[in-house]
């Protein structure tokens, strides 16, 4: 069993509720696509392509899915439209599984004398601070000691918001004044965590994309300074994306993966949007595993991403 537990009935119900808007939208489109048709033919596939693209799965990933279904149709000679739903579930789950080898999923922390260091990146407004707070809560609930670092020093609000979460979860926050060197904050955070024998460190970083060169240099500097304290840090670089922004999430992923070595994704705000298909597309296109999804505003509404449960919930 992983750190955050099995996929329980309660988690399944929360997932179903969180994906309700996407599910309703997809099913309405699918119903229209197969209306009056008895078998999956070229016209149904054309309609299906439009369904997936307008559900923010993305063009490239949609083409992959359509090609897989075309192959199945050719092999089976006849597929009824009533089978299309289960076929979609199967092929999308397979697509997500191809990225599973890289996924750290529902993990156990490795044995180490040093803290496990997570660096969080993403633009302002995507739910980065909230994700850090909820993640801290989960680690603490699992019996782990956590230290937070406020290395987004360009906005006073970012430091204040993180302090609110640190107080709420009751974990220490290392911070400096607005305008301080982010790398200095990262250094102090890891040094403090190491002296306290903390299990986990989560460091927030600035969410600016308007000057990409500066962002790249800043993130590189933060990582380099971390290694002076914990040689193999950061162990994870998590990119937080707002699922409700649809295709804009792809653009953000493109820029941040250029700026730093992102190795895990968090997709937030899925409960308030019909654009949940972005989870499938982003994971496939960037070959970076989705590790967590945000499906509500509650402190427990950050779930470990389970591809099978996700697809089942979306298409069941």
- For the chain, domain boundaries: 9-101, 108-306
CATH of domain 108-306: 3.40.50.300
* Residues 159 and 150 sit within 8 Å (Cβ to Cβ): yes
Can 9-101 and 108-306 be said to share one CATH topology? no
Q: What is the pLDDT of residue 1?
A: 37
Angle between helices 84-97 and 307-315 (to 10 degrees): 160
| pTM metric for this prediction | 0.90
Model confidence pLDDT, tens digit, residues 68-97: 999 988 887 767 878 888 888 888 988 888
Pull the structure tokens for residue 15: 């997932």
* Highest mean pLDDT, choosing among 13-17, 160-164, 294-298: 160-164
CATH homologous superfamily for the domain 9-101: SRP54, nucleotide-binding domain (1.20.120.140)
Nearest to 109 by CA among 74, 70, 135: 135
- Stronger pLDDT, 212 or 258, i.e. the higher one: 258
Nearest to 314 by CA among 283, 288, 275: 275
């Amino acid at each position: 069993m992983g750190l955050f537990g099995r996929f329980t009935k309660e988690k399944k119900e929360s997932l179903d509720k969180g994906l309700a808007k996407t599910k309703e939208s997809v099913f309405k489109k699918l119903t229209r696509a197969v209306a009056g048709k008895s078998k999956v033919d070229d016209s149904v596939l054309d309609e299906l392509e439009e369904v997936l693209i307008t559900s923010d799965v993305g063009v490239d990933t949609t083409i992959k899915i359509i090609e897989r279904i075309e192959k199945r149709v050719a092999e089976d000679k006849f597929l009824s439209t009533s089978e299309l739903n289960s076929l979609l579930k199967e092929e999308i789950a397979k697509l997500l599984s191809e990225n599973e080898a890289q996924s750290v999923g529902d993990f156990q922390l490795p044995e180490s004398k040093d803290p496990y260091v997570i660096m969080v990146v993403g633009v302002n407004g995507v739910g980065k601070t909230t994700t850090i707070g909820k993640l801290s809560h989960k680690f603490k609930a699992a019996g782990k000691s956590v230290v937070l670092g406020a290395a987004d020093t360009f906005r006073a609000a970012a430091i204040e918001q993180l302090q609110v979460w640190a107080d709420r979860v009751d974990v220490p926050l290392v911070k400096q004044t607005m305008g301080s060197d982010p790398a200095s904050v990262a250094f102090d955070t890891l040094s403090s965590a190491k002296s306290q024998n903390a299990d986990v460190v989560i460091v927030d970083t600035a969410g600016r994309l308007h000057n990409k060169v500066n962002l790249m240099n800043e993130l590189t500097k933060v990582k380099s300074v971390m290694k002076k304290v914990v040689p193999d840090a950061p162990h994870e670089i998590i990119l937080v994306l707002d699922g409700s922004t649809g295709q804009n999430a792809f653009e953000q992923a493109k820029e941040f993966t250029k700026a730093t070595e992102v190795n895990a994704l968090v997709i937030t705000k899925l409960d308030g949007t019909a654009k949940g298909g972005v989870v499938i597309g982003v994971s496939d296109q960037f070959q970076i595993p989705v590790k967590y999804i945000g499906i509500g505003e509650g402190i427990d509404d950050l779930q470990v991403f389970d591809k099978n449960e996700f697809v089942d919930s979306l298409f069941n």
